[in-house]
Amino acid sequence: MEKIIVLGGKGGVGKSSISAATALILSDLFPDKKLLLISFDIAHNLSDLFLQEIGDKLTPLTDNLWAIEPDPNIYAEEYTKEFTAKTRALMKKMPIIGLIPQIKNFVDTTFTADSIPLALKNAMFFQKILDAEDLNSQGVQFDIIVADFPPTGNMIALFEIPEDTVKVVLKYSLNFYNSIKGTLKGFSKMFRKVTRPFDSDTKQEELGDEILKMLTELEERGERISNLIHDIGSLRLVSIAEKPSFEEIKRARDLTKKYVNLDGVHINMVTPEESAKSCDFCRKIRLNQLKYVKKIKDEFVNLKVWESNKLEDEPMGLEGLRKLAKEVYGDLNAEDILNPKNIKKSFNAIDVK
Ligand SMILES: Nc1ncnc2c1ncn2[C@@H]1O[C@H](COP(=O)(O)OP(=O)(O)OP(=O)(O)O)[C@@H](O)[C@H]1O
Ligand SMILES: [Mg+2]
């Protein structure tokens, strides 16, 4: 994998449309590279954007572009199943404890997909994709991933999660041991000797080693993912030329700084000059927008800023999205879209009177 492009910003500013247009145009410009577009919004809309059913399976859109609208529940279920299976396997090694029905019940009901928060579920899936465990088995190795992220708060959760996953599993493991301890106390009152095997050094060591291994694997994976995002992640923030979404991208910049490199800013849906000429109301809107275009450019002065006007038709389908890509990236310099140069440049927007 060589690049993970992440699009973020406030709701409704065009993140999904620009993600889709970016993935599509990069797949056109780099026919030898394989691209994946992922939506991390639970209200997926890639199917609407591409005018074709996408869903939870890798869906080819062009010769070298695939998309997926993952169902985070499915991955969380797989994950918790694995965890409970491992825990049960551990219990088998301790025959007497394994006989205590309350413990089996506890393991089966405590760490379930429903008990995991959505952000963590999404993160599990994101980690899985980035770790390429899952998709490689479907035979595709991706060079570039474009991720359409939910608005800022949830986006941060996705970056933070590698660490959190370990904490959550640790919490459940500890709960599990507390439950064993409690149950064992009850038992030991009745049959003092019965609890011996749990206290015996070898069993306890084995158990400890297995759990430690699980947690270490998780932590290593978390570290791998964090490093990957750090090394090849490229965040692009999308805003419209209005105050609330401008404020949002400033916050997003500050909150994401430690996880991912900010490579550029999109200012989307600016009212075109043509419309401003023919309608007084549109002219006023445009003038106000241009003030924010300047503010955004001043604020992000060292970054690549892509400006795009509001198109007459909602960009949809391959044709509509290619049109949006042309509007966003202009001359379509492939390298510049993939690795924008963060050069200090002078402000050149139209003067606002
Ligand atoms: N440059 C553009 N010109 C015209 N319409 C646009 C443009 N960019 C986006 N849109 C339209 O604006 C609406 C919102 O876009 P989109 O769904 O991509 O935003 P979003 O930031 O992903 O929203 P959400 O936060 O709800 O996921 C859509 O109807 C889309 O077709
Ligand atoms: Mg969206």
The tokens for 278 are 């023919």
pLDDT in tens, 131-163: 654 454 556 788 999 999 877 666 776 676 555
Where is average pLDDT lowest: 71-75, 185-189, 216-220, 245-249? 185-189
* Ligand 1, CB cutoff 6 Å, lining residues: 11-17, 41, 45, 151, 268-269, 308, 310-311, 314-315, 324
Quick one: CA torsion of 116, 124, 161, 207, rounded to 10 degrees? 80
Q: Which one-letter DSSP state was computed for residue 40?
A: -
Res 194 pLDDT > 80:
no
CA 197 / ligand 1 centre spacing (Å): 62
* Residue 33 falls inside a structural domain: yes
What percentage of the chain reaches a pLDDT higher than 90? 45
Res 213 pLDDT > 70:
yes
Confidence of residue 70 (pLDDT cuts 50, 70, 90): confident
Q: Which residues surround ligand 2, an ion (CB under 5 A)?
A: 15-16, 41
Confidence of residue 10 (pLDDT cuts 50, 70, 90): very high
Run of H or E residues at 138: none
CA 311 to chain centre: 28
Res 52 pLDDT > 90:
yes
**How many separate domains does the chain show?**
1
More confident site: 61 or 58? 61
Query: Which residue's structure tokens are 């105050």?
Result: 243
Q: Which ligand lies nearest the alpha carbon of 11?
A: 1
* Residue 34 falls inside a structural domain: yes
* Residue 7 falls inside a structural domain: yes
Answer for the pair 123, 78: CB distance below 8 angstroms, yes or no: no
CA 269 / ligand 1 centre spacing (Å): 9
Instruction: Give residue 264's domain range.
Output: 3-71+227-338
CA 74 / ligand 2 centre spacing (Å): 21
Q: What integer pLDDT is reported at residue 176 of this predicted model?
A: 62
Hey, whose CA ends up nearest to atom 23 of ligand 1? Answer: 12
* Residue 99 falls inside a structural domain: no
* Residue 283 falls inside a structural domain: yes
* Residue 352 falls inside a structural domain: no
Res 237 pLDDT > 90:
yes
The minimum-distance atom of ligand 1 relative to the CA of 45 is 17
* Residue 112 falls inside a structural domain: no
Mean pLDDT over each residue of the chain, to the nearest integer: 80
- Mark residue 58 as left, alpha or beta (left: phi above 0; alpha: psi -120 to 50; beta: remaining): beta
CA 78 / ligand 1 centre spacing (Å): 33
d(C-alpha 38, C-alpha 61), whole Å: 12
Confidence of residue 227 (pLDDT cuts 50, 70, 90): confident
Res 350 pLDDT > 60:
no
Res 195 pLDDT > 60:
no
* Residue 50 falls inside a structural domain: yes
Whichever domain contains 283, its CATH number is 3.40.50.300
